[in-house]
Amino acid sequence: MQKLSTFVEKFVVDTSIIIDGEITKLIEAGTMTNCEIIIPVAVLDELQSQASQHKDHGFVGLEQIKKIRELSEKNNIVIKFEGERPSMDDIRLARHGRIDAIIKDIAKKNGATFYTADYVQALVAQAEGVKTSYSKPQIKISDLEFERYFDDKTMSIHLKDGTFPLAKRGKPGSFSLAPVGDTLLTKEYLEGITSEILEASRATQLGIIEISKSGALVIQYKDFRVVVTHSPFSNSYEITITHPIVKMSLDQYTVSEKLMQRLSEKAEGILISGSPGSGKSTLASSLANYYSTKGKIVKTFESPRDLQVNNQVTQYTHLEGSFENAADILLLVRPDYTIFDEVRRYQDFRVFSDLRLAGVGMIGVVHAHAPLDAIQRFIGKVELGMIPHILDTVVFVKAGQISKVYELEFKVKVPTGMTEQDLARPVIEIRNFDDHNLEYEIYTYGDENIVIPVSKENKSGGIEKLAEAKIKDAIRRFDSNAEIEILSNNSIRVRVDKESMPTIIGRGGATINDLEKTLGVHIDVEQKEKGSSRGGEWFEMSESGNNFVLEIDISKSGMDADVYVNDKNITSVRVGKNGRIIIPKKSTAGRRLISAVMSKENIQITVHD
């Protein structure tokens, strides 16, 4: 125990003053010596809890206590931990000041000076007659450390522990990644940048924490989007900060008079698509500002809220963690248009669709490498026939400019490439907006949704490319060795074994009629001629673990193969890489192969496209 003078000044510290580092600074400056520092157990518990949840402040606070102990030995300071651990009731009431009250009571009991960096805590303590020292946090609110990496051409900076700082410079569609420093970054340096941004956000009210999870933090500070990741989410400490360098109005884009008229008067289900960094969000911001200046009520759905919009546009984010909850509020404020930035999750597509069908003009931003990909992302998430009622205009952005525009129309017609009128069905037509040429059709074919490009070849005889594989799959359910010949766009001939004829035709022709209706073609069924032979492929058979490996000519890779034992099909599979067919031993076909090998039965393989 260190010897102290007769009168020993006592100090009680709270969580805020420890995290702020003010006590360490006072000891290092020689202002706080020959004294007793009392750290309430409740403070230690709170910091431990924060650190256990991987919150940065918890680690900072514990490191500060460790440093205070090290400095105390050189400055004749006694460190004491006093008080009881907070009960469950104390923890539940922490937000109402219960833990703060425990800390102040310890200061009263010891006649100590209460040190805090929390202004409210200082006021309450002074009101209760506790001797209090309030340390106003020295917060840097301008020229933050990260800002030195930015200039007017920097889109983003990438700072990672153990690497050199990198910056992405240029403009959407034309940028390069280059080092912006020759000093390796350290975790401590990056933690300092994070703390500086957090403190400046709180002090200036110009920043907000959008996402805070174990190992990940997203802050929107002014017009900078700050993403911080560390363990356990990422293997090292990393900060990525993006900053918009281009703010464009709609008239700065190459927009035809026809498209401008559509955006102004008709389009209410707009999808903006493009690859990352192509300028999608910039265009969405331009549209938001355009509609706002036209006297429309405009809102946004964003997480994080980083669109560059004017003050008339209100930016919404998740409500209690869900855009569904936010949508309920949105309908009550009756917007004319809503910008939904980053429609990505399954539920995002449902919320976008529900709001559009409720009569709200919707503009969605979707990641896609082609304009058709953006439309396809809605397939499976909403009913196919509803897509044209949800989307009417698809804008594809490339290198910061509008590259292509599609319009969607809903019709009931015979799909391109088919000729029989009884094949008419609901079809979504995707047309080039500029020349109104039909480029794609989407419709249901059998049990599947088909997206088919429309070209001259499709129009003259597209059924061969569209349906050949599906027809073969359907017919071979009845006879795995059926021979199929496509006679025309709407007619095929099928040759099957004698034993399979009754099954494929069905009682009174019911089965074949159903097949014709499902496949949309006329089917002639014939019995195979005697002597019709499959002709077996050469193969080698070996074992590998729990599988049989049948190796055939490597040129057959990717083709379909039928395996027979004594002329009876036991399985149909796809030939893998290097001409290998894998059959698990425990499968039905595998067990049959074992039996065939043991009894020396005839094994054959045939392949077909």
- Burial string for 527-556 (b: 16+ CB within 10 Å, else e) reads ebeeeeebeebebeeeeeeebbbbbbeeeb
pLDDT of residue 226: 94
Determine contact, residues 244/337, Cβ cutoff 8 Å: no
Among 339, 458, 441, which Cα is nearest to 387's?
Answer: 441
Q: Which CATH number fits domain 250-458: 1.20.1440.230, 3.40.50.300, 3.40.1410.10, 1.10.1670.10?
A: 3.40.50.300
Among 111, 104, 138, 103, which Cα is nearest to 8's?
Answer: 111
Amino acid at 555: S
pLDDT of residue 56: 67
Which CA distances in Å does 247 have to 9, 11, 107, 172?
59, 53, 54, 12
CATH number belonging to domain 463-527: 3.30.300.20
Determine contact, residues 430/456, Cβ cutoff 8 Å: no
Determine contact, residues 376/441, Cβ cutoff 8 Å: no
CA distance 38 to 77: 10
Residues 6+ apart with CB under 8 A from 383: none
Question: Can you list the residues of the chain whose pLDDT is less than 70?
Answer: 1-7, 54, 56, 87-97, 137-139, 172-173, 419-422, 446-447, 455-470, 472, 480, 487-489, 529-536, 609
User: Under CATH, which architecture does the 9-134 domain have?
Assistant: 3-Layer(aba) Sandwich (3.40)
Determine contact, residues 590/583, Cβ cutoff 8 Å: yes
Fold match between 9-134 and 250-458? Answer: yes
Between helices 41-52 and 98-110, what is the axis angle to 10°? 150
Q: Which residue has the tokens 């004594």?
A: 566
CA distance 57 to 71: 21
CA distance 242 to 221: 10
CA 436 to chain centre: 33
CA distance 304 to 212: 11
Determine contact, residues 443/424, Cβ cutoff 8 Å: no
Q: Say how many CA atoms lie within 13 Å of 564 toward its Cβ.
A: 16
Among 384, 395, 309, which Cα is nearest to 353's?
Answer: 384
User: Under CATH, which architecture does the 145-242 domain have?
Assistant: 2-Layer Sandwich (3.30)
Among 144, 137, 142, 141, which Cα is nearest to 119's?
Answer: 137
Classify residue 28 by burial, with Cβ atoms within 10 Å: 0-12, 13-18, 19+. middle
Domain ranges of the chain: 9-134, 145-242, 250-458, 463-527, 540-608
pLDDT of residue 213: 85
CATH 2.60.40 fits 540-608, yes or no: yes
Could you write out the DSSP letters of every residue in 108-161? Answer: HHHTPEEEES-HHHHHHHHHTT--EEE-------SS-GGGGG--TTEEEEEEET
